[in-house]
A and B are shown apart, each in its own frame.
Chain A
């Protein structure tokens, strides 16, 4: 019995993984967005360069093996919408020789801003999706 336990112990392992892609979306700025007032220039100044595509390639590759991967939120060039996104993935694995458990989760903090023809914010949506990973 001890020998069996020894064999099982030697085959045991634990893996944890944390991957981040994209830039932080500064939450304190989101409260300052005023539809009808805030301009595109201000949005770009506050949040920096928008995601040309919102799926960081590292995470795409990570999920490709599992055939579950994030889709591009928006294929540019739609000048009236900007997307700012931070994507985070967490994984953990318990490897016990005869039984293995692998779990991976991916989520994004995402801000989508729509502009009118005068380059002012029409409306926006924000969600801090990475909170669910903690």
Chain B
């Protein structure tokens, strides 16, 4: 037990003495996509009011010559940084940064009559690594 405590003390001392710091950052923007578009959206049949009812107002509306595009996006950014500084001079000895930014994104294309002509969906946030 004493040796474990001693090792813990030594590790803590080393961390403080060398000015190391670990930072975990999480940023979320937007709202979850409310439903599974593969279940809710039927190409050639679903209308704008139906899409608005299932998914709410879009985060972006793009106007095209052939009809609107609704863009839904829920973004997440995971950051991890490990920094080790020399405690007296403040010189960084080692820095390790990892940033991942992924979005759940749904694009719904409408034709001129307001019917869904196509849609694309990807759950990008599922690809995020824990750190």
Residues of B within 8 A of A7 (CB): 16
* Chain A: interface size category: 35 or more
A16 at the interface (CB under 8 A from B): no
User: Cα distance A60–B55 when bound, in Å?
Assistant: 24
- Contacts A104-B26, A106-B28, A107-B31; A71 near B21 (Cβ below 8 A): no
The answer to whether B52 touches A68 (Cβ under 8 A) is no
Closest A-chain residue to B16, C-beta based? A7
Chain A positions near chain B (C-beta within 8 angstroms) = 1, 4, 7-8, 35, 63, 66-74, 78, 81, 83, 97-108, 110-112, 114, 122-127, 129, 132
Question: Considering only CB atoms and an 8 Å cut-off, how many residues of chain B contact the other chain?
Answer: 38
The answer to whether B29 touches A69 (Cβ under 8 A) is yes
5 pairs, CB–CB < 8 Å, chain A vs chain B: A4-B9, A35-B49, A70-B59, A72-B60, A104-B27
- Contacts A4-B13, A68-B75; A102 near B59 (Cβ below 8 A): no
B15 at the interface (CB under 8 A from A): yes
- Contacts A4-B9, A98-B16, A98-B20; A106 near B57 (Cβ below 8 A): no
The answer to whether A104 touches B28 (Cβ under 8 A) is yes
Residues of A within 8 A of B56 (CB): 110, 125-127, 129
